[in-house]
Structure 1
Amino acid sequence: MKSTEFNLDFKREERTGLSEAIFCGGKSTKQINAILEAISKAGRSVLLTHLTSDKFQEFSIELKSCIDFDPSSNTGFFSTPYPLLPSKNIAIITAGTSDAAVAAEAARTLTFFGHRYELIQDIGVAGLWRLLDRVDEIEKFPIIIVVAGMDGALPTVIGGLVSGAIIALPTSVGYGAAESGRTALNASLTSCTAGIVVVNIDNGYGAACAAIRMLTAASRSN
């Protein structure tokens, strides 16, 4: 659907298996209102990302009532999300509690698209026993999103312990030489564990979409 300011891609799900999401960062409340009005008229649902609490509070009471807003992940479900599938094939693992917000964006994205997940938190390499205690549990999942900032070591370590597909999700957690997540990103990109997939810094939405694409591709081959 076209307007003078936006052009909604209602055919994206047919092409890619994933419907368009609305990135709210940099958009005004007026622009988001207009987009959601067009989506509503089309009878569609949409995932809103980077929707801050301040911006959400600017919406009308009527519009707020149509959005399932989650401040921990800065996401919103406009209208009804996809029905949940029965299987739980994806694990989301965080190195520390400081990575929780990025993990929450990934989790909410999976939920919107109807995918169940297991969240395993605070098992970073600083206390390696925490990870080793749960390796058998982690091994059960075919797809594992590993969320880590600082030195970004956790995806490499998990990739060397289990056989599932690893999606490294570096976060901007850290200080100094962590360089707002660039060190974690580079660590994932240069990992000596073969076959790790890497998404951009703090891109929980992208990591979840990568996991969904993997599941979709696997189902087509069966």
Structure 2
Amino acid sequence: MDKEKIQSILHDVQNCSMSVDEAMLQLKMEPFEDLGFAKLDHHRGLRQGIAEVIYGAGKTTEQIAGISEAMLKAGQKNILITRLDKEKAEILSQTLPLHYDEMSRIGYLGELPEPDGTGTVLVATGGTSDMPVAEEAALTAEVLGNHVDRLYDVGVAGLHRLLAHLDEIMSAYVIVAVAGMEGALASVIGGLADCPVIAVPTSVGYGASFGGLSALLSMLNSCASGVSVVNIDNGFGAGYLASMINHMGGHK
């Protein structure tokens, strides 16, 4: 149940078009819905400001469809599905109004909302190979109501590429820095920006990168202040956190 639904119930009680007992019944029934294979948390949007997100990997198309349909029935306008492969997306799109992005493996129901965050979320990558993770972060932030700018392939192997975009870096409200290899991009951006920087290590790299562990440890040991780190390839987590920061208010 979202805030608008709660407000509608309260207005109905205030206008005497709904009894207190009826309102209590609706509120009691709403916290979660048991679908058998999943317990859908309808109150997450009310508690956290963002509705439950469907993690697509490991779920069948029938399970994803069932959860989505229950969320739509409960009045959820935008539904985000992460780690959704192309084959499942094609099946789901036959019965649901699904938008799908193959690079980020993100699907969403409903239209992208008008941005209502404080400022701009900037998503930057060290290389082109980091784009799938970056797009997961960027599209997550867009579905959650943020204006997102993208700055791709600006890694430290050619630092002048990054320095040519200082205006975007300085004006961003929060920056997501996505990089594999040695993960140095986050430290460099952290030393330039006056906003929070969310570092995302990727599994991109040669043998000694250990599947992204090298970038993770580099980012955790960043000497730049104001840099936080999410898990390897966790673009969704970075986009979600960036949205939370961007909706806290305040001005640049």
CA contact (8 A) 1:90 1:211 kept: yes
CA contact (8 A) 1:88 1:118 kept: no
Q: What is the 5 A alignment of 1:128-147?
A: 128-147=159-178
49-58 vs 92-101, which deviates more?
49-58
CA contact (8 A) 1:166 1:196 kept: yes
The AA in structure 2 aligned to 1:114 is G
Q: TM-score, normalised by structure 1?
A: 0.92
CA contact (8 A) 1:102 1:202 kept: yes
Q: What is the 5 A alignment of 1:163-202?
A: 163-202=194-233
Which SS does the other structure have where 1:61 is aligned? coil
Shift of residue 195 of structure 1? Answer: 2.3
CA contact (8 A) 2:130 2:202 kept: yes
CA contact (8 A) 1:23 1:50 kept: yes
User: Partner of 1:10 in structure 2?
Assistant: 42
Shift of residue 86 of structure 1? Answer: 7.5
Q: Closer, same or farther in 2 for the Cα pair 1:9/1:80, shift >3 Å?
A: farther
Shift of residue 87 of structure 1? Answer: 5.8
User: Partner of 1:212 in structure 2?
Assistant: 243
Which SS does the other structure have where 2:176 is aligned? strand
Shift of residue 7 of structure 1? Answer: 0.9
In the aligned structure 2, how far is the partner of 1:46 from the partner of 1:59?
13
The AA in structure 2 aligned to 1:36 is S
Instruction: Name the larger-Rg structure.
Output: 2
In the aligned structure 2, how far is the partner of 1:163 from the partner of 1:81?
28
User: Partner of 2:58 in structure 1?
Assistant: 26
In the aligned structure 1, how far is the partner of 2:132 from the partner of 2:74?
31
In the aligned structure 1, how far is the partner of 2:108 from the partner of 2:173?
27
In the aligned structure 2, how far is the partner of 1:141 from the partner of 1:196?
14
Shift of residue 40 of structure 1? Answer: 2.2
The AA in structure 2 aligned to 1:18 is I
User: Partner of 1:59 in structure 2?
Assistant: 92
Shift of residue 85 of structure 1? Answer: 2.9
CA contact (8 A) 2:103 2:132 kept: yes
Structure 2: segments with no counterpart, 5+ residues: 1-32
- Residue from 76, 80, 100 that aligns with 2:107: 76
Shift of residue 89 of structure 1? Answer: 1.8
User: Over aligned residues, Cα RMSD in angstroms?
Assistant: 1.7
How far does the alpha carbon of each residue in 1:94-139 deviate from its partner, in whole angstroms, 9 at most, with x for none?
1111011111111111111111111011100001111122223311
In the aligned structure 2, how far is the partner of 1:136 from the partner of 1:60?
40
In the aligned structure 1, how far is the partner of 2:202 from the partner of 2:245?
22
In the aligned structure 2, how far is the partner of 1:129 from the partner of 1:51?
36
In the aligned structure 1, how far is the partner of 2:93 from the partner of 2:134?
29
Q: TM-score, normalised by structure 2?
A: 0.81
- Residue from 121, 132, 135 that aligns with 1:101: 132
In the aligned structure 1, how far is the partner of 2:154 from the partner of 2:79?
33
Identical-pair percentage: 42
